[in-house]
């Protein structure tokens, strides 16, 4: 074989091998980049999902705080129509597995304490034909359990904030008032005059 032809063949073969190796390395790097991009996309999606779930659960905490403080500050907590509301936590409980361990514990504990209050009200009514006796002991029990639950509320809120929850803005309450009544003349008849004078005396 002509030496020059052999050298050309070897050069071509070497070039082909280098080309295959280069293509293989390029494919590996491309696959690595695509895998990192997929992982980043998945992490962003998990982050959005955690934030959505946490924001929904924050609405529950807001609703429960109103209910607990109503019990705590009521002069007759045993007479309140206390019943467990429908909560997003019931349907999203499985989703909190994506939260960090430090966020799960205070959230679950707060809901456990709230459930205890509602079960207590339900049990006390069951034993007394739907009525809770308004004794000092019962009033204290209702308000003490509400206070114990509220103790955990700041930690539960902080846990959801840690997961990216958006805290709901205060609700602007629109007030509606009736227009003033039309003006009327003073009483005309003697018996009407006497009646309203007597009411004025009684009101003193």
Question: What are 127-138's pLDDT values in tens digits?
Answer: 888 888 889 999
User: Residue 174: inside a domain, yes or no?
Assistant: no
Q: Closest Cα partner for 81 from 45, 125, 49?
A: 125
Question: In the chain, how long is the greatest CA-to-CA distance?
Answer: 144
User: Residue 120: inside a domain, yes or no?
Assistant: yes
Burial 12-22 (b: 16+ CB within 10 A, else e): eeeeeeeeeee
The rounded distance, in Å, linking the Cα atoms of 118 and 159 is 23
User: Residue 42: inside a domain, yes or no?
Assistant: yes
Question: What are 93-108's pLDDT values in tens digits?
Answer: 999 998 998 999 999 9
Q: What is the mean pLDDT of residues 65-69?
A: 95
User: Residue 178: inside a domain, yes or no?
Assistant: no
How many domains are there within the chain?
1
The count of C-alpha atoms lying within 13 angstroms of the C-alpha of 116, restricted to the half-sphere facing its C-beta, is 16
CB 139 within 8 A of CB 77: yes
pLDDT category of residue 204 using cuts at 50, 70 and 90: low
pLDDT at residue 177 in the model: 79
Which bin fits 176, alpha (ψ -120 to 50), beta or left (φ > 0)?
beta
Predicted structure pTM score: 0.66
User: Residue 188: inside a domain, yes or no?
Assistant: no
Mean pLDDT of the chain: 84
User: Residue 87: inside a domain, yes or no?
Assistant: yes
pLDDT at residue 181 in the model: 80
User: Residue 204: inside a domain, yes or no?
Assistant: no
Domain span at residue 133? 3-167
Stretch (H or E) spanning 150: helix 136-162
The count of C-alpha atoms lying within 13 angstroms of the C-alpha of 164, restricted to the half-sphere facing its C-beta, is 14
Burial 64-73 (b: 16+ CB within 10 A, else e): bbebbeebbe
Residue 39 confidence (pLDDT) above 80? no
The DSSP-derived string for 57-96 is HHHHHHHHHHHHHHHHH-S-GGGS---PPP-HHHHHGGGG
């Amino acid at each position: 074989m002509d030496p020059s032809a052999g050298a050309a063949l070897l050069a071509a073969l070497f070039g082909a091998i280098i080309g295959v190796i280069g293509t293989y390395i390029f494919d590996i790097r491309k696959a690595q980049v695509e895998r990192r991009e997929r992982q980043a996309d998945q992490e962003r999606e998990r982050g959005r999902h955690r934030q959505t779930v946490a924001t929904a659960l924050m609405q529950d905490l807001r609703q429960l705080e109103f209910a607990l403080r109503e019990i705590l500050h009521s002069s007759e907590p045993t007479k309140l129509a206390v019943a467990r509301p429908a909560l997003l936590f019931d349907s999203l409980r499985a989703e909190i597995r994506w939260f960090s361990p430090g966020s799960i514990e205070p959230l679950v504990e707060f809901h456990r304490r709230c459930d205890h209050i509602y079960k207590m009200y339900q049990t006390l009514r069951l034993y007394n034909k739907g009525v809770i006796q308004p004794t000092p002991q019962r009033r204290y029990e209702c308000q003490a359990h509400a206070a114990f639950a509220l103790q955990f509320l700041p930690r539960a809120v902080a846990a959801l904030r840690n997961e990216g929850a958006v805290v709901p803005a205060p609700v602007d309450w629109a007030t509606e008032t009736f227009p003033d009544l039309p003006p009327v003349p003073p009483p005309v008849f003697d018996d009407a005059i006497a009646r309203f004078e007597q009411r004025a005396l009684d009101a003193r």
